[in-house]
């Protein structure tokens, strides 16, 4: 799990994954993402051709281009039903995929198809909330496993950081706000789980 999640307004040289957003039923990528797809040997289009990828909210498909760059195609579900709940669900699944891949920096492509269906900052806030809430793990009182160096596995795991950038500055600002709300929620969850 990530212990620190933050936003950035710049694409990092350390960006380990790029995320493309699609709605269920889409037969092609949004025009905003086609140039990226073409530049990277059509890796994004491959997701739409996979029968198991339905692009339901939270569906993910991971691909690597010939140069080793990783891409995640993230489903948002039915475009007519896009709302905060669906976005938070998708964002939580995205967090889990990034965590499993051990990604430290990610860039999310916010195409015009998404911003037409939901206010940009509201969409970003829901993304931040979903990613932040998914990062919660209460293990404060679990037995720690010591290592030869004298440090425990828990302390090593807690140094994991994720930096998020998007192609839309307003969305990035919304994500930052959502992460703060998620942090407050997680603080309350931690208090509730702490013995008196």
**Going residue by residue through the chain (196 aa), what tens digit of pLDDT does each one get?**
888 999 998 776 667 899 999 999 998 999 999 999 999 999 999 888 999 999 999 999 999 988 889 999 999 999 999 999 999 999 999 999 999 999 999 999 999 999 999 999 999 999 999 999 999 988 777 655 444 455 555 554 456 899 999 999 999 999 999 999 999 999 999 899 888 7
Greatest pairwise CA separation for the chain in angstroms:
57
Cα–Cα distance, 61 to 20 (Å, whole number) = 10
Tell me which residue of 55, 62, 61, 60 sits closest to 82, measured CA to CA. Answer: 55
Tell me which residue of 176, 128, 127, 129 sits closest to 8, measured CA to CA. Answer: 176
pTM to 2 decimal places = 0.87
Looking at residue 150, its pLDDT comes to 52
Cα–Cα distance, 170 to 121 (Å, whole number) = 6
Looking at residue 146, its pLDDT comes to 44
Looking at residue 152, its pLDDT comes to 54
Cα–Cα distance, 120 to 131 (Å, whole number) = 17
- Phi first, then psi, for residue 15 (nearest 5°) are -55, 120
DSSP-based three-state secondary structure for 181 = helix
Looking at residue 181, its pLDDT comes to 97
Q: Where are the domains of the chain?
A: 4-189
**CATH (one of 3.30.70.100, 3.40.220.10, 3.30.450.80, 3.30.70.330) for 4-189:** 3.40.220.10
- Residue by residue, DSSP assigns 73-133 as EEE---GGG--HHHHHHHHHHHHHHHHHHT-SEEEEE--HHHHTTS-HHHHHHHHHHHHHH
Cα–Cα distance, 104 to 5 (Å, whole number) = 9
């Amino acid at each position: 799990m990530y212990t620190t999640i933050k936003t950035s307004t710049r694409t990092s040289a350390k960006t380990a994954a790029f995320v493309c957003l699609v709605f269920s039923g889409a037969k092609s990528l949004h025009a905003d993402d086609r140039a990226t797809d073409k530049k990277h040997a059509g890796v994004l289009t491959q997701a739409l051709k996979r029968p198991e990828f339905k692009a339901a909210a939270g569906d993910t498909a991971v691909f690597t281009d010939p140069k080793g760059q990783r891409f995640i195609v993230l489903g948002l579900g039915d475009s007519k039903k896009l709302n905060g709940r669906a976005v938070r669900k998708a964002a939580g699944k995205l967090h889990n995929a990034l965590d499993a891949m051990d990604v430290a920096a990610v860039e999310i492509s916010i195409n015009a198809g998404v911003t037409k269906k939901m206010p940009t900052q509201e969409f970003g806030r829901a993304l931040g909330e979903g990613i932040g809430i998914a990062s919660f793990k209460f293990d404060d009182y679990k037995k720690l496993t010591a290592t030869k160096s004298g440090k425990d596995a828990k302390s090593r795991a807690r140094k994991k950081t994720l930096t998020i950038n998007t192609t839309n500055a307003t969305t990035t600002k919304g994500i930052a706000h959502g992460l703060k709300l998620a942090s407050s929620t997680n603080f309350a969850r931690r208090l509730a789980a702490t013995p008196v």
